[in-house]
Amino acid sequence: MNKKELKKWWKKFWFFVWKDDSPKGWLVSIIFLFIVIKLIFFPLLSLLTGTALPLAIVESCSMYHDGNLISNQNEWWESHSDKYSKFPHMEEGDFSEFIFKNGFNKGDILFILGAKPEKLEVGDVIIFQTQKATPIIHRIIEIYDLEGERVFSTIGDNNNGQLSSEKNIKENQIIGKAVFKPAPYLGWIKLIFFEPLRSESEKGFCEEN
């Protein structure tokens, strides 16, 4: 293919992707965008962030605070402080300094960075793998050493207690650390298709426990 033929082909392809409003044109556009996102955007983003999951959709209400973005921190702490009483670094003054102090909501998209275990601190929100297919995104409430390795313990802000799978999180389970929320609610575009498959207790919008 010479330069002239290549230029002609590119114009035709560009027309199909961006300007053709026919069903065929829409199909080509969708396939093209899927390839770019799947094979270029996400691999590049993973390389830059140091984690295999640079963007994570929140699929549960375990980190929800009543009121969400306008949650009252003092009122929330009063209703949840008892579960943190046995953890020395989880007092009200400490919690108000933590990232995501107002939690986050089902359907939010979080930006994740790779995290070195030795750099993680109590109050950080980490995403980690368990035996379940979907990773968990919860807040660190305790860190301790076990045979020369850092072990982490987490809890969901909106959960009444810890899951058995989050009491002894090993370094190799950690996928990364959540650092900010670039797209509140946008993850519902994907979640809406899975809602009918969820149990009744997991369906719908969030409420405070």
Task: Tell me what the mean pLDDT of segment 98-127 comes to.
Answer: 95
Tell me how far apart the alpha carbons of residues 18 and 127 are, in angstroms, rounded to a whole number: 37
Q: Which tokens go with 34?
A: 């899927």
| Residues 23 and 95 occupy one common structural domain | no
| Residues 120 and 24 occupy one common structural domain | no
Q: What is the pLDDT of residues 14-64, one digit of tens each?
A: 666 666 677 776 777 777 777 877 888 889 999 999 999 999 999 999 999
- Supply the pLDDT for residue 47: 93
Q: Sign of the C-alpha dihedral, residues 8, 10, 12, 14?
A: negative
| Residues 101 and 32 occupy one common structural domain | no
Alpha helix stretches (DSSP H) within 83-122:
92-95
| Residues 41 and 58 occupy one common structural domain | no
Query: Domain span at residue 95?
Result: 53-202
Percentage of the chain with pLDDT > 70?
Answer: 89
Provide the number of structural domains found in the chain. 2
* Residue 118 pLDDT exceeds 90: yes
* Residue 206 pLDDT exceeds 80: yes
- Supply the pLDDT for residue 15: 65
Asked if residue 208 belongs to a domain, the reply is no
| Residues 67 and 99 occupy one common structural domain | yes
Q: What is the pLDDT of residues 133-171, one digit of tens each?
A: 899 999 999 999 988 899 999 999 999 999 999 999 999
Give the distance between the most distant pair of CA atoms in the chain: 73
Q: State CA 116 to chain mean position distance.
A: 18
- Statement: the pTM of the whole predicted model exceeds 0.75: yes
| Residues 89 and 24 occupy one common structural domain | no
Alpha-carbon Rg for the chain, nearest whole angstrom, is: 21
Asked if residue 146 belongs to a domain, the reply is yes
* Residue 94 pLDDT exceeds 70: yes
| Residues 91 and 158 occupy one common structural domain | yes
Asked if residue 170 belongs to a domain, the reply is yes
| Residues 81 and 169 occupy one common structural domain | yes
| Residues 39 and 60 occupy one common structural domain | no
118-127, 156-165, 193-202: least confident range: 193-202
Q: What CATH number is associated with residue 89?
A: 2.10.109.10
* Residue 70 pLDDT exceeds 70: yes
Specify the higher pLDDT residue, 84 or 38: 84
